[in-house]
Amino acid sequence: MELSAREIATYLNGEVEGNPDVTVSGFARIEQATQDTLCFLANPKYEEYLYKTGAGIAIVNKTFKLRQPVPYTVVWVDDAYRGIATLLDIYATLSAVQRSGREYPSRVSWRAKVGKKCYIGAFSYISRGAKIGNNVKIFPRVYIGRNVTVGDSCILYPGVTIYSGCHVGSGCILHAGAVVGSDGFGFAPDENKRYKKIPQIGNVVLEDDVEVGANTCIDRATMGSTIIRRGVKLDNLVHIAHNVEVGQNTVMAALTGIAGSSKIGEGCMFGGQSGVIGHLSIGNNVSLTARAGVSSNIKDGETHMGFPNMPISAYRRSYVVFKNLPDLQKKVSQLEQEIGSLKSKP
C-alpha cells in the first residue's frame, strides 16, 4: 500500500513541507528508515536522527523547530505519536479488508447467518444459530459456537475460540488463540473431599471496540454474564475469571489476572503481572503498577503497587525502611553483643 504526503496530511489534518506527491510504501523507525518508508518524531530524545534519517516522509509535531534543513518531506501535525497510530490503524485495516470470500474447507451451518463482505478462512467452523455481522474477517481455524453473535467489522485472528451463547460487539479484535466463554473455575468439595464441578451456564459479553490479546482467556459467568465494557484493551496472556465486570476504556498489560466476581471501574490501567483477588471493587481511573497484588478494595483515582497492595506513596515510604533491613539487622546484632558484654561485667 502506498501513501503520499498529501494523503497523509489529509488523514492527520497536517501541513506538508516539501514535495506533497512523494510516496512511501511502509513504516520504519527513524534511525532505520529508507527512502520508501515513513518515520515519525514524537520524543525529542531522538532529534539527532531527524538530520540523519533516510526516510521519504517524516511526521513531526508542529511545536518542534528544525535546527537545519532536511532532504525529505515533512508532515507537520499536532501530535506525531497519535498521528502514526492513526496511520498504522488505517494500514492494518486496509490490509485486512483485502481479504474477502470464503476459503475451503470451512463449515458454516445452514442455520447460521453471515453478513455481507465477510471473509471466512479455511478450517473455520461457524455453528448453528450464530449471527455474524457485515465486514467481519474470520481467519483460519476459528471456532464460533452455537448462538454466538459477532458484530460488524470485527477481526478474529487464527485459532480464536468463542463458546456458545457469547456476544461480541462491533469493531472488536480478537488475536490468535484468544478464548471467549470457557468455563469459570467453579468446584464444590463433597463429603469425600472430591471436587464436584459447578456448571457454568452464563456467557461473556464483549461490548464494542474491545481488543483481546493473543492467548487471553475470558471465562463465562456461572450465571448471568462476564462483561467487558466498550473500549477495553486486554494484552496477551490475560485471564478474566467468571462474573467479572471490566469498565469501559480500561487497559490491562500482559499476564494480568482478575479473579471471579470482581468489578473493575472505567479508565483503569493495570501493569503487567498484576492481579486482583475475587469479589473486590476497584474504582474508576485506578492504576496498578507491574506485579501489584490487590487484596482489598481501591477507591477512585488511586495508584497502588506492591503485594499486598498499598497506595504508591505509602509503598515508597515503606520501601525506604525494608530495603535497609539487612543493615538494621547488623546494627541490632551489634547492639545485642554490646548489651551482653555490659551485662557480663561485674
Mean pLDDT of 176-205: 96
Q: Tell me: the pLDDT tens digits for 294-337? A: 999 999 999 999 999 999 999 888 888 888 888 888 999 999 88
- 3-state class (DSSP) for residue 176: coil
* Amino acid 89: pLDDT: 83
**Percentage above 70 pLDDT, the chain:** 98
- Asked if the model's pLDDT at residue 209 lies above 60, the reply is yes
Confidence of residue 95 (pLDDT cuts 50, 70, 90): low
Kindly list the structural domains of the chain, giving each domain's residue range(s) and its CATH number in brackets, ordered by start. Answer: 3-97 (3.40.1390.10), 101-315 (2.160.10.10)
- Asked if the model's pLDDT at residue 202 lies above 70, the reply is yes
Pairing of strands 161-162, 37-41: unpaired
Mean pLDDT of 25-52: 93
Confidence of residue 2 (pLDDT cuts 50, 70, 90): confident
Tell me if 168 sits within 8 A of 150, measured CB to CB: yes
Confidence of residue 96 (pLDDT cuts 50, 70, 90): low
Mean pLDDT of 98-104: 86
Tell me if 268 sits within 8 A of 287, measured CB to CB: yes
Query: What is the total residue count of the chain?
Result: 346
- Asked if the model's pLDDT at residue 170 lies above 90, the reply is yes
On average, the pLDDT of the chain sits at: 94
Sort 311 into a burial class: Cβ within 10 Å, 0-12 / 13-18 / 19+: middle
Query: Which residue matches cell numbers 479488508?
Result: 97
* Amino acid 340: pLDDT: 84
Confidence of residue 90 (pLDDT cuts 50, 70, 90): confident
Q: What is the largest CA-CA distance in the chain?
A: 100
* Radius of gyration from C-alpha coordinates of the chain: 27
Report the C-alpha dihedral over residues 320, 323, 326, 329, rounded to 10 degrees: 30
* Amino acid 154: pLDDT: 96
* Amino acid 98: pLDDT: 67
* Amino acid 294: pLDDT: 98
Q: Where are the beta strands (DSSP E) in 127-260?
A: 131-132, 137-138, 143-144, 149-150, 155-156, 161-162, 167-168, 173-174, 179-182, 187-189, 195-197, 203-206, 211-212, 217-219, 225-228, 233-234, 239-240, 245-246, 251-252, 257-258
* Amino acid 299: pLDDT: 97
At residue 279's C-alpha, the angle toward residues 210 and 251, to 5°, is 25
* Amino acid 201: pLDDT: 97
- Asked if the model's pLDDT at residue 35 lies above 60, the reply is yes
The residue type found at 184 is G
Active site residues: 242
The residue type found at 69 is P
Mean pLDDT of 239-247: 98
**Can you give the pTM of this predicted structure?**
0.82
Nearest Cα residue to 254 out of 234, 240, 282, 228: 234
198/130 Cα distance (integer angstroms): 26
Q: Which residues contact 151 (CB under 8 A, 6 or more apart)?
A: 133, 168, 169, 170, 171, 172, 208
